[in-house]
Amino acid sequence: MLYLVRMDVNIPHDLPAEQAQEIKAREKAYSQDLQRDGRWQHIWRVAGEYANYSVFDVESNDELHGLLQALPLFPYMKISVTPLAQHPSAIAQN
């Protein structure tokens, strides 16, 4: 199942810089592992914002929820999820 996910990040200004950097490093490693295994298919930065749009390919809503909840930045995110379906005018991918 494909999902379009928007993630808006809001790290508190009073979070110590060293702690914020450590969380960001863990976030990067985790997200890149998911990209390598194919579950996090695309990630695009939203220009001018601390936000991204991503496409996930996972088996279920529960799997997606688990992946998102495990993001190190999850406590500092507002996340919106849109399930995607094949469009009848799209050229099918092989």
Report the domain count for the chain.
1
Q: Which domain covers residue 69, as residue numbers?
A: 2-84
Q: What is the pLDDT along the chain (94 residues), one digit of tens a residue?
A: 999 999 999 999 999 999 999 999 999 999 999 999 999 999 999 999 999 999 999 999 999 999 999 999 999 999 999 999 999 998 876 4
Domain of residue 67, CATH code: 3.30.70.1060
Give a yes or no: residue 19 inside a domain. Answer: yes
Closest CA to 41 of 31, 26, 49: 31
Give a yes or no: residue 35 inside a domain. Answer: yes
Give a yes or no: residue 12 inside a domain. Answer: yes
Give a yes or no: residue 91 inside a domain. Answer: no
Give a yes or no: residue 94 inside a domain. Answer: no
Give a yes or no: residue 80 inside a domain. Answer: yes
Cα separation, 43 vs 52, in Å, equals 7
Helix (H, G, I), strand (E, B) or coil at 29: helix
